[in-house]
Amino acid sequence: MSEVLPGETEAIRSKKSNFRIQLAGGAIFGALSTVVALILSPIINASRIQGWGIALFDPTSWVWIICFLIFGIRAGIICSVTGSFGLLIIDPTGIGPAFKFFATIPHIIIPYLILKWREKGLLTSQKLKDPKIFSFSGAISIVVRIGAMLILNFIFVATIWADFFEYINLEVIGFANITGISAILIFTPIINLYTGVLDLVVPYILVFGAKLDEKFGFW
């Protein structure tokens, strides 16, 4: 929460007011992530890995997590859902936004659940600001993310991508001879570890480094 200076009184928002703020924050940041995606679409699409459709640089998910860190869990989920639909405008694969959503949502839900499990009192972003708690919950969320992406990849390989399965390989990291299931089992954890760390570290620095959590104090 923001600091109360001498001579000032602390304003206590009602649950109804907080609910409205979270709804508005989630919607606004969801729209903001769409604008970011549109502006940076040439860079995002240029960074996509051939044969995989995964972008090495896609800051739209940073906006979703920033929204969560500032406004709370409800706003973070709303932002992720609306932002995912916004990504349909620039995504050439058609299913990329769904993968983006299921890859990012663990970084919002898992830290909140761990914080709720550890803390018996009121949950606040200040408690999540603790590097130890954030690192621990972030590591768990990355593990969940990798598991979710492995499951999604295998589901789509068995259905929509069945005709292209034989062309999947690890040429991007210099092992073009590794294909099929082996390629998925090796590359999925690698790429999601990389993007997962970025999705956690960048929003943490932007929100807590700039003390946006203290300035706004929505949760």
Task: State pLDDT tens for residues 76-116.
Answer: 999 999 999 988 888 877 788 999 999 999 999 999 999 88
Instruction: Give residue for tokens 């940076």.
Output: 40
Q: How far apart are CA 46 and CA 58, in angstroms?
A: 11
Closest Cα partner for 128 from 140, 115, 138? 115
H or E stretch including 100?
A: helix 96-104
List the pLDDT tens digit at each of the 219 positions of the chain.
445 444 444 455 677 788 888 999 999 999 999 999 999 999 998 998 887 888 899 999 999 999 999 999 999 999 999 999 988 888 877 788 999 999 999 999 999 999 888 776 667 777 888 899 999 999 999 999 999 999 998 888 777 777 777 778 888 888 888 888 888 999 999 999 999 999 999 999 999 988 887 777 677
pTM for the full model?
0.85
| Amino acid letter for position 198 | L
